[in-house]
Every structure is written in structure tokens, then in C-alpha cells.
Structure 1
Amino acid sequence: MADLGEPDRVASPVFIIGTERSGSNLLRLILNAHPSIAVPHPPHFMRYLASIERTYGDLTSETARRAATRDALALLRTHIHPWGCDVDEDTVVAAAAPSLFGVVAAVYDEYRRAQGKARWGCKSTFMVWHVDEVLAQYPGAKFVWLVRDPRDVAASAKSSVFAPYHPYRTAGLWVREQRLAAGALERHGPDVVHLLRYEDLVSRPAEEIAKLCAFLDESFDPAMLAPHLTGEAQRTSRLSAAWLNTAAPISARSVGRYQKSLTVAERRQVERVACLVMKSLSYSLSPDVHQAVRPALAEVLTRGALLRLATEYRSLRGDTNHFRRWRRDMTVLGLRARARLRAAVPTASPISGGNA
């Protein structure tokens, strides 16, 4: 294990990239079980704030960095999976590089310190859109491209409050994000981007986790094979039905779940949208993929809305973080509304957009 705060480890954060519902919760807990790596559940700072970064103004200014920090900490306060530690605003403002990601990195580093570990990680798969931005600040950063059969991703997304719901839309998102990850691998090479198939991880965990540790230049730790035994996994499983499996041992039981969870039409639609990328990643296609019919927009919207209503109802009844998620969503709307106001009134002080 590296010494706490060893510069090469602090400067080499770990990012899980790809598409949501690909097993990233499992991989987060595997990595977090390592004695050197702290990977909290992500508030998705860049997903929610990147589009309004320019409204903070020049982030070399302490005033602008403080405004961005306050917005980030507003998201953290309403996060659906509380971190369980305090993050000091002044410390983040002082430590942050002059960019939104600089603020995000400083927040994550505070979590690392609170956990007493040498290295931090980020499970926000949306960081696939920000790989080059991360490497500009952390040339030693490592990216784990976690990829899963898009049919299983779509099957999981149909009943998750964190996904696009309709399989056709999920397939489109999967294609875009795998292409981004593939581009990052092509540009930066396998020493920076490690391709990990979910199916291999759950079928051969010891072998794949050993490869992962070698990529990260970390010693293998047996605790990584039993992440479900950690307190973090138990706490995660109690928050949402979408995370129940985090309290169970690593298993391949979810591989191929689409065969029961997708209709024939849905499966064909996913394959038709994703076929080229699926082939490049060695996922087989069904013989009838050519029979796929593109769904009408009205069908996508209506079916997606019905799936969302059903999932929201289940979440309301069973998820302990249901109202926290609603509060988080309202916080995001508020932050974006204030950003629009800052953009419309350039003379307004950027700090006025911070509190939520």
C-alpha cells in the first residue's frame, strides 16, 4: 500500500467511464475495498455543472472558484448517497485548479483525506465526456472503461430511476459513450485506458481484478473479491432498489437478463442501433437483427413516460433516498436557473449563484 498522500498516487486518480447500468456500482465497491483507493458514490458534478461552467466567469479568480465550489457543495449536500464526511469550502477554493474540474478534483481529494487513503477515484461514468480535460490536469490519471452488453444495459435501464428508460434511447446513449471511450483508448493507449468487460469481471473476478490492479500499479488485495462484505456496500444496498445487488457476492446471474426483460421488438431495436459497436466489442448479434423497426417518436416518449411512472412509484414505496433524489433534482434546476440569470446579467456577482 502506498503511503497516505504519496504524490504519485494523489496525482493518479482513477475514473470509471462508460455508460450507467453497466456494473459501475460493483466496480466502485471493488476499487473502494482496496486499502489505497477511496471511491465515493458520485454526485455527478461534471454532468450537472459543466454546461454552466462559463457563467462562473474567470476561474482564476477566487470569487469565481468560490461560486463554483458552492454549487458543487450544494449538489453534495443533496446527494442521493451521502458521503458521511464534511468538505470545507475554503479548503476546496484554495486547493482547486482554475477550472470546474479543478473544483471537483479538490472536493474528491477532501474525501480521500477523510477516508485516510492514498488515492481517490470517481465512479461517474459521464466523465467519459471529459477524458482529455482530466488528463490536462492529471497526466497520470487512469481510466477504466467498463463495457456491458447494451441489451443488458437497456434491460436494467427500463426499471432504474437513473436511466433513459426506453431501450431505444438507452442504445443510442450506449453507442455514443462507447465511441467516446474507444476514442480515448485510441488516443492515449492501454496504459491510460483499460477496457474491462462486465461479463468477464463477474465470470472471472480474480483474474480480471488482478489485471485491473496491475493496470493501476496497485497490489492485489483479497478484500476486492468480496466487496459485498464492506460497510459501504451494505449502506448502498439499503438506499435504493437499483442498488440491492451491491450487498450480494460477485455473480454472473445478471448476464443475459435481457432475454427475459426485453421484448423481441426492444431487443431488435437495441441491436440495430448498436450493431457496429457491438461487433467491435465482440458482442454477438441475433439472426433477426435486420427485422428491427425504428419506433415512432410518440411511442418512445409514451413508453418511456409509462416506464418512468412505474419506476417512480416503486421508488416512492421502497427507496429510502427517494425524496433526496427529488431534492437533488430541484437543486440542479435551481443552480441552472441562477446560471441563466448570471449569463443574462453579466454584471451580477458570480458568488450570488452559489448557495442552494
Structure 2
Amino acid sequence: MSNPADKFSPLLSSPVLLGGENRSGTTLLSVVLDSHPSLVVGPEIDFTEPVNLGPHILDACDFMDGHEEDLKGATKASIPEQWFDGVHFVAQCERFGLHRDDVRRLVTTLMAECGSELVSLMDRCRLVDAIGTLRCQQTGAQRWGLKLQRKIKDIAAYAAFWPNAQFIHIIRDGRDLAASHLKTVPDWGYPTVTDAAHGWLEIVAHTRQAAPAERYLEIRYEDLVTRPRDTAQRMLSLLNLPWNDALLHHADQGHSLFDTPWGHPAADAASQPLYTGRNGRYLQDLTPQQIVEFERIAGDELVRLGYGLSGQ
């Protein structure tokens, strides 16, 4: 893939790009913001793989057409490896509300315009931009948004590609995040507290240091679920959007993710009213030794974010 520093023409749209470590509440954040009538915000779309993204997506669309019944309830392990990236991409687009034929048309058109197989990161961002623009046209929203997830650590590159983009980074207490990885998603999450601490610290600290301050906002998951009005108002102030009570009632709104979840691991939880019961779960789910280990690695960042340490 081409280096992000390759020559490019900046994209003129003004997306709302969300990010955060896995299990930080990024899906909930996307659904809350999607509740605002001026925004259409989708879950993540993984667009950095494979190398021949364009042709692979088109082939994956054909594969999915021919295996519709087989793919119901499919898991990563049950999808043939050569098709997984493409099938996953198309499924993510459908979670965002696109029809498969929309995906085909956008990819085909952009490949012709770029004269490429959408290899460079810039061309892939153009595809994401086209997806977001189409969703605005389909819904009447003024702006589109999407989850970058952990790719928000590359915020400097995306800020250059989209000079009018704004970024919202949701951060969860890293100890709760570690507990969630170890207890809830052991098949793909961090295998140890040490890994979780280093991974969390990389995303949280590096993103803040690289972010364009005037276009970047950090929010805490804990504030979103305990002080939703204040937290939502901070986000709307960044985005220069008026208040709308729908943000406090995301579970009562229609969202494409709920209609076409494609097995999204957080769709069910995000469809529920705001819930605070998992805050501080690390106190029950981690051992004292694991808590000490996490704080040894990432304690300074926990303190900066207002979480405090267990010994205080």
C-alpha cells in the first residue's frame, strides 16, 4: 500500500470520524450520534486490506450473492479465508445501510476514476468518502460519520486527507477494557493484562499527541453513560450542531446497524438504553496483581484522564 505521505488531493467533505480502542464503546458512540437528524453515522469499515481492494470487493459481492444462505450466521472461522476481507467489507457497508449494488457501483466508478484497484490509502479514503456521501444523499443528513476504531492512532494521516474532518475519540478506563477483553472476547481480545495495557496506552496517548487540537475531542465512556446530556452537548459543540433530544434516546431510534447487524459483536448492547453497570468491572474481574500490572504500565495516563489509581 502506498505511503500516506504520497501526493494526494484533499477530500472536501467534513466527516465525523470516531475512534477508540476495541471494547471502549465506539459502537454505542456511533449509534448515539447517528440519532441526530443532521448526521448519518455508521459502524467501522475496514478499508486498509487487502492490497487489491477494488476487485476483491467486486468478487466478494458475487460470492455473497451465490452463498446468501450459507452466510447467515457465518463467523470468521466459517468464511473461506480468501473471501473474508471482501465479505467483511461488504457486510460492514450493509451495516451502514448500503445495498450490495450500491457497493458495486461505487467501487466500479471509483476504480475507473482513479485508474487503479484502490491500492493507495488515499484511493481507499476516496471510497469511504463516496460511501459517506451516498448515505447523506439517501438519508438527507448534512454530514456523515464512521468509526476508524484503532486506526484513529493514524489521525495525522486522516486529518490531512480530510482537512475538514472532526474527530471524536472515546476512551474507557483501561482496566475495565482489559477485563472486557479477557472475560468477554477471549477468542480475539488481548490475551493478557500486560498486552491490554500496552495496547490501550498506544491508542490513547499517541492519538492525543498527534491530533489537530482544534478538530479533536476526547470523551470518556463513563461520562457518556452517566452524564449523557453534558457529553452529547460537548460533541455537538465541536460539530457546530444544534441540540436534539434524540441523542438521549438512541435505543428508540432507527439505525441501519440494528436492521442489518451481520453479527456485529456490540449491536445488541448498543441497541439498549444507556447502562452503567459495567463501570468499574475490573474490581471484580481482575485480580489485585493484574490491576497493579496495568497501573504500572499505564498509570500516568489513567491519572491524566481522571480515573485515578487503585492505591489512591
C-alpha RMSD of the superposition: 2.9
Matched residue, 1:209: 232
Aligned counterpart, 2:136:
112
Q: Distance in 2 between matches of 1:81 and 1:169?
A: 32
- Partner deviation per Cα, 1:185-240 (whole Å, 9 max, x = no partner): 4xx21x21111111112111111101110101111111111111123264478945
Cα displacement (A) at 1:26:
1.0
Q: Which one of the candidate residues 10, 13, 18 is aligned to 1:11?
A: 13
Distance in 2 of aligned mates of 1:81 and 1:280: 38
Deviations 1:70-97 (A, max 9, x none): 5886542244973442322233335669
Alignment partners' CA distance in 1, 2:57 and 2:131? 8
Residue pairs, 1:127-166, within 5 angstroms? 127-158=151-182, 159-160=184-185, 163-166=189-192
Match among 98, 104, 109 for residue 85 of structure 1: 98
Aligned-pair CA distance for 1:278: 1.4
**Whole-angstrom CA distance in 1 between matches of 2:261 and 2:90:** 20
**Does residue 276 of structure 2 align to residue 276 of structure 1?**
no
Write the distance in 1 (CA, Å) between the matches of 2:180 and 2:260: 18
* Counterpart code for 2:32: I
Change (3 A) 1:90 1:242: closer
TM-score where L is the length of structure 1: 0.65
Q: Going by fraction, where is helix more abundant, 1 or 2?
A: 1
1:27 paired residue number? 29
Bigger Rg, structure 1 or 2: 1
Kindly provide the amino acid, as one letter, of the partner of residue 165 in structure 2. Answer: A
Secondary structure of the structure 2 residue equivalent to 1:244: helix
Q: Indicate how the Cα distance of structure 1 residues 265 and 197 shifts in structure 2: closer, same or farther if over 3 A, else same.
A: same
Paired residues, number: 263
Q: Distance in 2 between matches of 1:237 and 1:67?
A: 25
Q: 5 Å matches for 1:1-80?
A: 11-46=13-48, 48-49=49-50, 52=51, 66-67=54-55, 70=58, 74-79=87-92
| Structure 2 residue 232 is matched with structure 1 residue 230 | no
1:171 aligns with 2:197: yes
In structure 2, do the counterparts of structure 1 residues 125 and 30 end up closer, same or farther at CA, with 3 Å as the change threshold? Answer: same
CA distance in 1, matches of 2:262, 2:123: 35
Uncovered stretches (5+) of structure 2, i.e. residues with no partner: 1-10, 61-84, 115-120
Which stretches in structure 1 are left out of the alignment for 5+ residues? 1-8, 57-64, 289-356
Q: Distance in 2 between matches of 1:238 and 1:260?
A: 32
State the match for 1:255 in structure 2.
279
Distance, in Å, in 2 between the alignment partners of 1:262 and 1:95 is 52
Report if the CA contact (8 A) 1:236-1:243 is conserved: no
Contact 2:13 2:129 (8 Å CA) reproduced: no
Distance apart, 1:45 and its partner CA: 1.7
Comparing both chains, which one has the higher relative contact order based on Cα–Cα distances under 8 Å and sequence gaps of 6 or more? 2
Quote how far apart the aligned CAs of 1:68 are.
7.7
The separation in 2 between residues aligned to 1:102 and 1:18, in whole angstroms, is 22
TM-score, normalized by length of structure 2?
Answer: 0.74
Name the CA shift for 1:237/1:66 in 2 (closer, same or farther; >3 Å): closer
> 2:4: which partner in 1?
none
Q: Does structure 1 conserve the Cα–Cα contact (< 8 Å) formed by 2:45 and 2:147? A: no
**SS of 1:124 mapped into structure 2:** strand
In 2: Cα distance, 1:286 partner to 1:92 partner:
52
